[in-house]
Structure 1
Amino acid sequence: MKVRQAAALGPLIALLVACVFFSLQSPRFLTPENFSLIAQQVMVVGVLAIGQTLVILTAGIDLSCGMLMALGSVLMTLLGSRGGMSPMAAIALGIGATTLAGTINGLLVTRVKLPPFIVTLGTMNIAFALTQIVSRSQTVTDLPPVLTVLGNTMQVGSARIAYGTVLMLALYAGVWWFLRETAAGRHVYAVGNNREAARLSGINTERVLLAVYATAGLLYGLGSLLAVARTGVGDPQAGQTENLDTVTAVVLGGTSLFGGRGVVVGSLVGALIVGVFRNGLTLMGVSSVYQILVTGVLVILAVATDQWSRKGA
C-alpha cells in the first residue's frame, strides 16, 4: 500500500519540486502571466492525454492521436473558411471524423483482433497522408471567429485564463467522475487488469474497448478545436510529436503502461510537468534539444517507477 501511495503522490511531488527549482532560477517563473501561459501551452496535449489515458488503462496504446488531431483541425478549418459551411457544422464534422477514426481503431482491435500498437500506427500514417492531401500541405488561415473562440481569455485575478483551459479542466473532472463513480468506468479498469477475467465475470470487453477508442477519437476532435483556437490556423504539420507527448504525460502521471491502474487527473499533472520543464528551461535559456533530453529521462524514470511499484505491490 505504501508503494502505491508513493507512486500516486510521485507526479505531484515532482511537479512541486520542478516549480520550486525553476522559481529559484528565474524571477519570471512564479508570475501569474507565466502560469497562465503554461496552462495554454499544455491544454491541447492535456485533452489528447485524456483519450490516451483511457486507451492505456485498457492495456493498449494510441499512436494516432496527434495525426488525428491534425486531420480534424484541417477539416474543420477548411470547411469553415473555404467550404461555405457554417463554422459550427464544420466543427461538428471535424470532431465526427476523428470520432469515426477512433471507432475504426476500436473495431480493428476488437473484431479483427489486431494489436493496438499496429492498428494505431497504421491509422497515424493514414491520417497524416489524408491531412496533407486535403490541405495540399498548405496552412489554412482567415478563420471565422467561432473556430478560435476557445483561444480567447478571461481575467482571473492578475492572470488571463483561456476558455480552452477551462474546457480542459472540465473534461478532466468529467472523465475522473466517470471512471471513479460509474460501473462503466470500473469496467475500463477491469478490462485493463485482466481482459479474460473481466469477460468471464460478465463484462462485454469488446463493447468496453470499442467505447474507449471511440471516446478517445472524440477527445482528439476536441483537441483539434483547441489547437485551432490556440494557433489561429489549421496547420497540416501539427500533431507530429503529440503521440509521444501524450504517452509521456500519461506515464509521468502514474498510469501503468500495463493497464488497469492509474488516475486520469494524474495525466493532467504529467502534462503540467512537461510544460513546466519546457517553460522553465526556456526561461533559463536552455536549448530545446536539452528540453527533449530531459523529457526522455523523465519518461524512463516514470516507467522504472511503475515497474518498481508493480513489484512492490
Structure 2
Amino acid sequence: MAATTTSAAAAEFARRQHSPLQRVQHQLHGRPWLSPLFLLFVAFLAFFIATPTFLTANSMGILLQQTAVVAALAVGQTLVILTAGIDLSVGAIMVLSMMVMASLSRDGGMPGILALLIGIVLATAAGALNGFLVTRINLPPFIVTLGTLSIFTAIALLYSGGESIQANHLPDLLNFLGDGFSLFGISLTWGIVVVILIYLVVGFVLAQTAWGRYVYAVGDDRESARLSGVASKRVLLAVYTLAGFIYGLAAWVLIGRAGAATPNAVPDANLQSITAVVIGGTSLFGGRGRLIGTAIGALIVQTLQFGLSQMGVDQQWRVLATGILVIVAVAVDQWIRKVKA
C-alpha cells in the first residue's frame, strides 16, 4: 500500500514538473479529438465573422448534408488507418457499388431492396479483396489499394458505360436517404441519420468489444499483438471487409444526396476521407484515434470547403487550404507521439 502511495506521489510530482506545453501534449495524447474540436470552433467563428449567413439554419443544413458522404467513408478509412494501413480505393468502391445498385434497379429492372443488397455485398467483397491481398499475399496496403483504385474505377466505368442514372429512373428505396425532415429549423436527410447510426455502432464496437481492442493492438504493434495471442491477419481481414461494407452504405447515402448515380461522383473522396481521419486525430502510424475525432475532422473538411465557397474563394485555393491542413495535422500527430511520461 505504501509503495502504491509513493508511486502515485512520484507521478503527481513528475506531472507538476511539466511545462504548460508538455501538459497540452499529454492532454492531446490522451484525447486526440480535442485539437480538431478547437479547430472546428475557430473555423465556425472565422466564417461567421467573414460571412454572417454561414451560421443560418439553411447553411447548417446544407453543410451537414454535404458532410454525410465523406463522414461515412471516413469511418471505414479510420478502421484501416487504426491498423497502420491506408485505403486509397474508398471512393472507387463506393462508386462501383452505387452504379451496380442503380443499373440493376433502373426503370424497374430489379426490386430496389435486392439491388441495394447486391451493391452492399459487392462493396463488402471489394473490401475483403483488399484485406486478402494485404494479409495473405503480404502486399503493402498503399500498393494494394492504389491498384484496386484503378481496377474498381475502370469496372464502374465499363459497367455503366460512363452514363449517369437520374433519380426518376431509380426505385424509391434508393432515393429514400435523400428525403428530408426539419429539426430546429435545420433541414436534415435520412442519410445523415444513417451516418450517425454507423458512427454509434462502429464507435461502440471499437470502444467496448474485444475485437475493437485487437484493432488498436494490431495498429500499435502487429508483431507484439501476434505474440500476445491476437490473430492479427484475421483482424486485418475483418477490418478491410467491414470498411467495404461501410463504403456500400455510403454509396446508398450518396445516391440520395446527389439525386442520381454517376460514375464521376466525388472525385476527391479518397483525399477528403484521409484528410478527415488525420485532422480528427487518428495517427497515420496506427493504434491511436477515436471516431468522434473523425466526425469532427469530416466537419472541418466540409466547413472549410463550404465557408470558403460562401466567401467566393476559388476551388484551387480551397484545395490548397486542405493540403496545408493535412500537413499541419500530421506534424501535430508526430509531436503528440513524442509525449513523455
CA RMSD of aligned residues (A): 1.1
Q: Secondary structure at the match of 1:312?
A: coil
Alpha-carbon distance between aligned partners in 2 of 1:188 and 1:217, rounded to the nearest angstrom: 16
Give the CA deviation at 1:240: 2.5
1:193 maps to what in 2?
Answer: 220
Are 1:145 and 2:172 counterparts? yes
Give the CA deviation at 1:264: 1.2
1:169 maps to what in 2?
Answer: 196
2:17 maps to what in 1?
Answer: none
Q: Secondary structure at the match of 1:258?
A: coil
Q: Secondary structure at the match of 2:261?
A: coil
Give the CA deviation at 1:5: 2.0
Number of paired residues? 313
CA contact (8 A) 1:67 1:239 kept: no
Alpha-carbon distance between aligned partners in 2 of 1:182 and 1:172, rounded to the nearest angstrom: 15
Are 1:303 and 2:330 counterparts? yes
Alpha-carbon distance between aligned partners in 2 of 1:284 and 1:240, rounded to the nearest angstrom: 23
1:101 maps to what in 2?
Answer: 126
- Supply the AA of the counterpart residue of 2:43: A
2:109 maps to what in 1?
Answer: 84
Alignment of 1:53-92 (within 5 A): 53-82=78-107, 84-92=109-117
Query: Which digits, 9 at most, give the CA deviation of each residue in 1:187-245, with x for residues without a partner?
Result: 00000000000000011111100000000000000011111111111111124211111
- Supply the AA of the counterpart residue of 2:335: W
CA contact (8 A) 2:108 2:170 kept: no
CA contact (8 A) 1:67 1:238 kept: no
CA contact (8 A) 1:147 1:228 kept: yes
2:56 maps to what in 1?
Answer: 31
Pick aligned residue for 1:235 from 250, 257, 262: 262
- Structure 1, unpaired ranges of 5+: none
Pick aligned residue for 1:20 from 45, 48, 56: 45
Alpha-carbon distance between aligned partners in 2 of 1:166 and 1:234, rounded to the nearest angstrom: 20
Are 1:207 and 2:234 counterparts? yes
1:52 maps to what in 2?
Answer: 77
Q: Secondary structure at the match of 2:230?
A: coil
1:130 maps to what in 2?
Answer: 155
Are 1:121 and 2:146 counterparts? yes
> TM-score normalized by structure 1?
0.98
Query: Which digits, 9 at most, give the CA deviation of each residue in 1:106-145, with x for residues without a partner?
Result: 1111111010011111111000100110000111122122
Are 1:40 and 2:65 counterparts? yes
Pick aligned residue for 1:257 from 284, 288, 298: 284
Higher mean Cα deviation, 6-15 or 85-94? 6-15
1:246 maps to what in 2?
Answer: 273
- Structure 2, unpaired ranges of 5+: 1-22
CA contact (8 A) 1:44 1:226 kept: yes
1:266 maps to what in 2?
Answer: 293
Q: Secondary structure at the match of 1:160?
A: strand
Alpha-carbon distance between aligned partners in 2 of 1:36 and 1:185, rounded to the nearest angstrom: 33
1:5 maps to what in 2?
Answer: 27
- Supply the AA of the counterpart residue of 2:176: V
Q: Secondary structure at the match of 2:215?
A: helix
Alpha-carbon distance between aligned partners in 2 of 1:8 and 1:298, rounded to the nearest angstrom: 15
Query: Which digits, 9 at most, give the CA deviation of each residue in 1:156-195, with x for residues without a partner?
Result: 1211111111111111111111111111101000000000
Q: Secondary structure at the match of 1:88?
A: helix
> TM-score normalized by structure 2?
0.90
